[in-house]
Amino acid sequence: MKLDDLPDSSVGKLFAARFGVEEANAVLAAGLMHRGQMHRDHARLGSDPFKTCLAFVIGLECYQHGGYLEEHGLRASWEDVKAWIIEKAEMRTHDGDFDGFALLMGVYNEYVGSKPFVEEEDHEAR
pTM of this structure: 0.83
HEC readout, the chain: CCHHHCCCCCHHHHHHHHHCHHHHHHHHHHHHHHHHHCCCCCCCCCCCHHHHHHHHHHHCCHHHCHHHHHHHCCCCCHHHHHHHHHHHHCHHHCCCCCCHHHHHCCCCHHHHCCCCCCCHHHHHHC
- Could you tell me the residue ranges of all domains in the chain? 3-125
Is a pLDDT exceeding 80 seen at residue 105?
yes
**pLDDT, tens digit, 9 for 90 and up, residues 19-75:** 999 999 999 999 998 876 655 556 688 899 999 999 999 999 999 988 888 999 999
Per-chain mean pLDDT for the chain: 86
